[in-house]
């Protein structure tokens, strides 16, 4: 009766997960654990589902905890396919946390199981998982290398991309042997992206074309759009703008047919940039305006900022400066709303350029901008204060220009002085004939192809306490002759079964191996937290013998001594009264 109730709660929880009601599903599965069961397979399923649900909610600490319970259960009952599945889940979570070394440890373990079991499908998945970890680590390292100008890190990134290509190719070989077109298409696209990261654009185009051909055979328009966009990116970086424009147009048309507004906006913006660089500025304006229209409908302030700034650049390129200033005012407004300091600097530079080109046509009394809204199909309302030069001095939305007088007449004088100061600074810093195209390339074009956006924690190991706490719990229970279980949701009958498993010599060895393996995964983090043991003196042989007899638990606790000391609270000293 108890097992049946636990099973029903689990079924209902899984139904809620399919409806993407993760919090409600988690509550039900936790109730199932409170009811309890002696069915280890059901217990494993509950742990796995809870881990997956917490992953979807980006609660990676809880996800790690439940997937670790899952792998413990699978190891105890000797289910190697289930253990391989748990390794894949743990590897995926560590990857999302940016703990790439730990992710590789578990994913290579998944590959070991696949080879041991002779399971080609499992091997294909393991190859793919390993490759994606190398790609993500390579991208993070590449960004760090660019920021730090570190050649050694750049070499590390290249090595990661090369390893990714190696495992994607192994994945492709297995997929071709299994005649699995879905996996083959995914491999083609992934290899194209990897060679893009390596800077080998010809190879990247070749694999994306294979992806395109396969997608066309099956009528997969979403994959066709991605393939055209990726091919266009490569041609753009090869400075082959006619071919880039051709593929961007095909990608834009497919996005429009599919009806995905976000992708349609993305393709319109990419196409507009390609047209601008290709000197087709008037056509570029059309697509920038389409991007702006969608960004407004989606209330995407950052998207509106990109569109408005690009339109300001485009109209300035056509010498229609009042139209350029209209869009520049909107871009300034958007940049303050999202607090984009980089965009604010770009806007300042473009304003200086427009004013230098002919302030007599765009300024009233040297303090107020003259704008033209006619190019905007849906003109935005502009406040009078946004037309004054002081508006462009703001660095955040609550700013008031420093030293601005309260008296309106004095403010006019102040703005005139600021205008002449601005021109003087411009003349001292300006580099002739290099500004407009460079601004578009640097500020607007971003052809990097990304698979996922992660927030790495800049560490090679996981920062959670989940696994080490489980290890400590396991070791504490090894001190107990009763071998009490440490798996939540296991009812008394299940505890009896677990004790029998633990008293069997073979399973005892299995349990020891599991603990040692989990500790090895965490070895890097333990090393960082380790307190040095005191030196062993020759005459202290008696003390040495005593240490050899200590249980493993005491050693682990000593490793954690530094961490525990940092968390310790001390009682205040109470002065003794003198009689």
Tokens at residue 463, please? Answer: 């920062």
Is the Cα dihedral 374, 376, 378, 379 positive or negative?
A: negative
Return the DSSP state at 386: G
When pLDDT is averaged across residues 293-313 and rounded to a whole number, the result is: 96
Query: What percent of the chain is predicted at pLDDT more than 70?
Result: 69
**What CA–CA distance (Å, rounded) separates 188 from 173?**
11
Contact (CB, 8 A) for 226 and 250 = no
Higher pLDDT, 479 or 367: 367
What's the average model confidence in pLDDT over 434-457?
Answer: 38
Rg (CA), the chain: 31
pLDDT at residue 224 is higher than 90: yes
Q: How far is CA 485 from CA 97, 231, 504, 579, in A?
A: 29, 56, 15, 56
Average pLDDT estimate for 277-294: 96
Put simply, whether the predicted model's pTM sits higher than 0.75 gets the answer no
Per-residue pLDDT tens digits for 168-215: 999 999 999 999 999 999 999 999 999 999 999 999 999 999 999 999
Q: Which residues pair with 37 in a beta bridge?
A: 490
Q: So what's the pLDDT on residue 494?
A: 65
Question: Which helix (H) or strand (E) is 423 found in, with range?
Answer: helix 408-429
Cα–Cα distance between 395 and 399 in angstroms, integer? 6
Mean pLDDT of the region 12-32: 93
Using the predicted structure, report yes or no on whether residue 465 has a pLDDT greater than 80. no
Report the pLDDT value the prediction gives residue 512, as an integer from 0 to 100.
53
d(CA 41, CA 6) in angstroms, rounded, equals: 12
pLDDT at 379 over 60: yes
pLDDT interval class at 299 (50, 70, 90): very high
Arithmetic mean of pLDDT over the chain: 79
> What's the pLDDT at 367?
83
Res 454 pLDDT > 70: no
End-to-end CA distance of the chain: 70
How far apart, in whole angstroms, are the C-alpha atoms of residue 196 and residue 200?
A: 6
DSSP track, 52-112: HHHHHTT-HHHHHHHHHHHHHHHHHHT-HHHHHHHHHHHHHHHHHHT-HHHHHHHHHHHHH
Kindly indicate the confidence band of residue 40, based on its pLDDT and cuts at 50, 70 and 90.
confident
Separation of CA 538 from chain center: 53
| pLDDT tens figures, 321-333 | 999 999 999 999 9
pLDDT digits (tens, 9 = 90+) for 188-197: 999 999 999 9
CA distances (Å), origin 7, targets 36, 41, 45, 128, 518: 10, 11, 10, 33, 30
364 band by pLDDT with thresholds 50, 70 and 90? confident
Determine how β-strand 368-369 pairs with β-strand 363-364.
antiparallel
Reported confidence tier of residue 361, pLDDT bands at 50, 70, 90? confident
Span 527-570, pLDDT tens digits: 545 545 445 555 555 555 555 545 444 544 554 555 445 545 44
Instruction: Report the candidate in 331, 250, 252 with the shortest Cα–Cα distance to residue 287.
Output: 252
Q: What is the pLDDT, as a whole number, of residue 407?
A: 44
Cβ contacts of residue 442 below 8 Å, gap of 6+? Answer: none
pLDDT value, residue 390: 82
Neighbours of 198 (CB within 10 A): 17
Average pLDDT over residues 120-140: 96
* Cα diameter, the chain: 98
Q: Give the lowest-confidence range in 142-146, 256-260, 482-486.
A: 482-486
Confidence of residue 426 (pLDDT cuts 50, 70, 90): very low
Tokens 């008394």, located at residue: 492
What is the distance between the alpha carbons of residues 7 and 19, in angstroms, rounded to a whole number?
19
Confidence of residue 245 (pLDDT cuts 50, 70, 90): very high
């Amino acid at each position: 009766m108890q097992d049946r109730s636990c099973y029903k709660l689990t079924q209902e929880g899984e139904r809620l997960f399919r409806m993407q009601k993760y919090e409600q599903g988690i509550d039900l599965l936790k109730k199932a654990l409170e009811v309890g069961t002696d069915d280890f397979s059901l217990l494993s399923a509950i742990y796995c589902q809870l881990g997956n649900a917490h992953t979807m909610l980006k609660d990676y600490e809880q996800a790690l905890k439940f997937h670790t319970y899952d792998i413990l259960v699978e190891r105890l009952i000797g289910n190697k396919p289930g253990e391989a599945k748990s390794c894949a889940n743990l590897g995926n979570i560590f990857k999302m946390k940016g703990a790439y070394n730990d992710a590789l440890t578990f994913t290579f373990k998944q590959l070991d199981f696949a080879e041991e079991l002779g399971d080609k499908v499992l091997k294909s998945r393991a190859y793919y998982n390993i490759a994606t970890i190398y790609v993500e680590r390579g991208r993070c390292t590449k960004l760090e290398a660019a920021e730090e100008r570190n050649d050694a890190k750049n070499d590390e990134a290249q090595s990661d991309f090369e390893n990714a290509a190696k495992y994607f190719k192994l994945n492709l070989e297995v997929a071709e042997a299994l005649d699995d077109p879905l996996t083959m298409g995914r491999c083609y696209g992934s290899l194209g992206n990897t060679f893009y990261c390596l800077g080998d654009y010809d190879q990247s185009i070749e694999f994306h074309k294979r992806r395109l051909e396969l997608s066309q055979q099956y009528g997969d328009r979403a994959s066709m759009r991605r393939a055209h966009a990726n091919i266009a990116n490569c041609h753009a970086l090869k400075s082959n703008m006619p071919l880039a424009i051709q593929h961007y147009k095909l990608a834009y048309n497919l996005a429009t047919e599919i009806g995905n507004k976000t992708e349609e906006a993305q393709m319109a913006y990419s196409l507009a940039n390609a047209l601008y660089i290709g000197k087709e500025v008037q056509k570029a304006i059309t697509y920038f305006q389409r991007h702006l229209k969608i960004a407004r409908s989606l209330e995407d302030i950052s998207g509106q900022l990109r569109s408005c700034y690009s339109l300001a650049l485009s109209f300035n390129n056509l010498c229609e400066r009042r139209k350029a200033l209209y869009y520049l005012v909107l871009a300034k407004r958007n940049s303050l709303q999202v607090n984009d300091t980089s965009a604010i600097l770009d806007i300042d530079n473009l304003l200086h350029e427009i004013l230098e080109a002919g302030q007599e046509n765009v300024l009233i009394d040297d303090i107020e901008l003259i704008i033209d809204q006619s190019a905007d199909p849906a003109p935005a309302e502009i406040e009078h204060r946004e037309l004054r030069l002081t508006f462009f001095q703001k660095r955040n939305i609550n700013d008031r220009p420093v030293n601005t007088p309260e008296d309106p007449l004095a403010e006019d004088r102040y703005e005139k002085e600021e205008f002449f100061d601005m021109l003087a600074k411009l003349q001292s810093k300006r580099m002739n004939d290099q500004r407009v195209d460079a601004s578009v390339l640097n500020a607007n074009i971003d052809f990097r192809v990304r698979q996922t956006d992660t927030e790495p924690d800049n560490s090679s190991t996981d920062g959670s306490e989940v696994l080490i706490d489980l290890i400590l719990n396991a070791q504490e229970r090894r001190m107990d002759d009763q071998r009490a279980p440490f798996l939540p949701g296991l009812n008394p009958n299940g505890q009896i079964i677990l004790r029998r498993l633990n008293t069997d010599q073979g399973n005892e060895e299995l349990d020891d191996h599991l603990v040692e393996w989990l500790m090895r995964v965490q070895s890097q983090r333990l090393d960082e937290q380790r307190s040095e043991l005191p030196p062993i003196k020759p005459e202290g042989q008696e003390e040495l013998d005593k240490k050899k007899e200590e249980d493993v638990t005491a050693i682990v606790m000593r490793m954690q001594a530094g961490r525990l000391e940092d968390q310790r609270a001390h009682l205040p000293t109470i002065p003794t009264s003198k009689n």
